[in-house]
Structure 1
């Protein structure tokens, strides 16, 4: 890949890539006149799955070892997931967590050889991620955004625990049919924003690849470049199906910082992927239900690539940390 030779630059970074988003991942309280909150069953299932995961962490933490610091960090993030997923539920409807902040009593005797082998922690993280994605089509938009973010975090946890990184699936955008084609008035602005972000990412990876040595990093950059091209093309096809003209790529993009060597190139790659996680977390909430899994998959893939490029991990990929609540003085 060669860096673009054009020198007309537009903003690349939070101005171009980061979509407007709320600061809370949880669903706001339901008005009294709206009846039962339809998200309650979804939240209860998510909390139950997370409790199973917490219990598995606690069992492993009863035996200290080399991985104890990692397990403690991942468990703490999982506890944050539970708190966010339980927000808005009546206290009486939430089953008490079976986990504690300190290791429980010694584990039960070993499982008999004839019993099924319990899943590894990495496998359990993957299963929890899938269970959250299964409810994307029934959750309301704010909760769908949270579920997609937590699912991406679960995938990241599984990778940290030694599971192989999932291969990106950028071409998985479903073919629109009369029954699942998004309504242009509600989906089009969000899709155009995602498309513009992918245009910027493709440009950015052209710069990244040109400054990396011909080794595994350059191979990774080529793979990411192709993935973003494919995702860009998928959004273009969907927007065309809506009868709209896809947003064109800009003549060029201003980089968020100078890229002059392999170190700054990897920083740019991490910046691109991290910025895209915010775009895709918001897109999950903005798209109609048939297309939410595609945006959630893109969120997961960007989260894993950001980690590979050295970006700091967060408990809620794509969702900014809520600001402290102002207090009166």
Structure 2
């Protein structure tokens, strides 16, 4: 046998009792989840920002960022609704590199997934209970969803996972907004087929049981750009790209059409400062086209305390994965979005 157990089988219910929301914290999360659902359904016209570090590698720095973001959320709440990125599992193209908090609760230590799962729950719990914000995470491992689904308010399915049938089917059983990215090839058919599958009822095996889902009407599109066969970035946030995406949405007749622009990754070529320009250009396009204004109602922004990235966690609050917009520039951008929406 090639699989060598490193620990006893995880007791899911026991893990879920760790950092379980109750009382006022649970009530506030439920209220914010209803607000978020209304935004996705078009019943609330505020702009959605899914914003925060590329990866949550340091609990103190992430909580520092969360408190700052919560203060800013209160100031812009009339026009902007923010869900904080607390991304705890990172896809690695060739399997090397930092794989996230779930693998390494100590970014410089050895893998320890049992402690990693506890650290993931604790971090989401602390952000929610200490700041009042709600959180987003990427569903890199569908089988781990039941370990965090009571805490996370927004699920993202990444460019390398969106074509996978298990991700699509599990997404059909999720009851919170689930953003599905276009694949790295940029083929929008892959993303739209994923959304169709996620919005439809499905039967499949999940964690050793046969399950049936009712479909997730809150599954929606995230445009993150593409990489062509020559290794060149191909952005897909431009005016014509947005209209083509909207046309495909309308042709397929999917529920709750909603488009989020990922301002980093292949849209920016991981040039983190470009995120500011991409937001500005998209807001202009929303003003120019009623159709774009109706469909394009969210941004995914990678930001942290310090600009850029580093290879080792030497600088507090600086990303060790993709480069991020620092806090000062983040705050300026959010205020700019708020003022622009008020014009």
TM class by smaller structure: under 0.3
Which structure ranks higher in relative contact order (CA pairs < 8 Å, sequence separation ≥ 6)? 1
Higher helix proportion, which one?
1
